[in-house]
Chains A and B, each alone.
Chain A
Amino acid sequence: MNARSLFIPVTLFLVIAFLIGPFLIIVAASFSAGETLAFPPQGFSLRWIAKVFTVESFQASFAMSLFLAIGGTAAALVLGIPASYALSRYKLPGAEIVRTVVSAPIIVPGIIVGLALLRYIVVPFQVGITLALFVAHTALVLPYAVRVVSASLDNLRSDIEEAAVLLGSSRLGAFFRVVMPNIRGGIMSAFILGFVTSFNQVPVSLFLSGPGVRTLPVDMIAYMEIVFDPSVAALSSLLAFLSIGIVFAAERFLGFSRYV
């Protein structure tokens, strides 16, 4: 083998090792039997995996993150689907402004969104923490919802719904009976992308978390600052496998990557 034919495998090995290696180490460390986080793991046990399920704050913050990811994404879709439809099918006055406003939360760093909401909405209007987090996560997911749903609407010929209207269907009926079934894959993909984005999100939630109300990643950071045991590693591995599983299933059944 000469130097050039070695270049490709060596480069790929090093890059993949750098990108995936740390994750494999976390997985290995979570099966450790030892008291502290270490690699190579000391012995083999499932005790830290089991412990994750018994930590009360993890249970509460997991439930909160799940609620925000599902509820926030659903709300973003309820707002985002009609907006995408208007942007792709109508001569909308000020279309560029609408597009910029709904996609702005993606450009502005999350920590600023969280701080601005806290100071000018949550505190002056006495909004509860859960509602504030819900609103923040909805705003965060909205750009993704609009982008993915718009992409699948643009791929769908608009003359089929015009035909439906011409044949006597109402505009609304045409939307639900003709358009919706055809963009179902795009909507599901938007949901999954929004779910993963919201679930992994930290900066937006940072300032909005209050006493006893935290999202899971914020809780994990707080926990790892105090306790140096492998339970955060165990939880990280579980979550990673969960999100990889969801994305793989989405790719397999929906052709996720066509939309994202």
Chain B
Amino acid sequence: MFQNRAEALALALPAALFAAAVFLVPVVILLSDGFRSPVGGWTISAYTDFFSNTLNQTVFLRTLKLGALVTVVSAVIGYAAAFAIVNLEPGAKGRMTGLVVLPLMISPVARTYAWIVILGRTGIVNQAFQALGLTEAPLRILFSETAIFIGLLQLFLPLMIISLISALENMPKDAIPAARVLGANWFQVFWKVVLPLTKEGLVIGGTLVFTGCLTAYITPAILGGSKVLMLETLLYQQVSVSNNFVSASVIAFILIVMSFAANILLKRVATARNKMRSQP
């Protein structure tokens, strides 16, 4: 540890001032706009206006609903996948983890675009459904909540799987056999042994997936179109179509509050885990 404070400040300040100037200050001003009254002073009327509009309510609830749904489904699939992967031979485990991580390297635009080919009117799903005689006319799957749900799940599932793999690997190896020997069935093993021991991994994965869904723009923009909006696409529309900056500020505030809350939760869990580890 060097003690020279002036030197330390000289090294750290350029980055901090840059981030403050181009990021922190503009964002704080943007957020304060939603609380400013047109006649001077402060008010929350922009918020009551925002939430009294039915379209806004629908979009707000849809964003929460899709975020929660994607998080829960990715947790269920994530446990199955992570459990399968940690039980592989070391070499195969590495390759499988690589395949799970691989999509994260690919541009989200490319990944979302693929679903147009799959879910579109002449897409694979409709071709298959028609060939099987399940439907006569092509189904309209694109530009719906279902399409956004599928796109978000595919985008964020890797984050959940990775979090759960490391949680399962840190679990004592004999916990499951011990519970089995003592007569627990598989449901009890999961509920009473695996889940409590991997809770942190689940919270970390869940936070990453949920905030990812809240703040995803590309997926709802491409797969939801201009009708099925989420908060991010609504914000874009408010600015670029309606020029409604007050409403944009309200949405920005909602998004930031939700993602900060999730990140504080994440930090709590991470520090709790570090404390546990540092105990002898």
Which A residues form the contact surface with B (CB < 8 A)? 7-9, 11-12, 15-16, 18-20, 22-23, 25-26, 29, 37-39, 79-80, 82-83, 85-87, 89-93, 97-98, 101-102, 104-105, 107-113, 115-117, 119-121, 135-136, 138-139, 142, 146, 158, 171, 196, 199-200, 202-203, 206-207, 217, 220-221, 224, 232-233, 236-237, 239-240, 243-244, 247
Contacts and interface: CB of A to CB of B under 8 A. Distances in A.
Can you list the 7 inter-chain pairs with the closest CB atoms, starting with the nearest? Answer: A236-B110, A22-B114, A90-B8, A116-B26, A83-B15, A109-B215, A86-B11
A18 B74 CA distance: 12
B217 A135 contact: no
Interface of B: 1-5, 7-9, 11-12, 14-16, 18-20, 22-27, 29-30, 77, 80-81, 83-85, 87-88, 96, 99-100, 102-103, 105-111, 113-118, 122-124, 154, 157-158, 161, 214-215, 217-218, 221-222, 232, 235-236, 239-240, 245, 248, 252, 255-256, 259-260, 263
B113 A8 contact: no
Contact of A207 (B5, B107, B239): B239
Contacts of B256: 108-109, 112
A200 B106 CA distance: 8
Given A7-B80, A39-B117, A138-B18, 6 more contacts: A90-B8, A92-B8, A111-B232, A112-B255, A207-B239, A243-B105
A91 B1 contact: yes
Contacts, number: 244
Contacts of B263: 107
Nearest to A235: B110
Nearest to B225: A225
Contacts of B81: 11-12, 15
Nearest to A38: B122
Nearest to B150: A18
A207 B152 CA distance: 23
A110 B221 CA distance: 14
B248 to A, nearest CB: 6
Contacts of B252: 109, 112, 115-116
Contacts of A15: 77, 80-81, 84, 100, 157, 161
Contacts of A91: 1-3, 5, 8
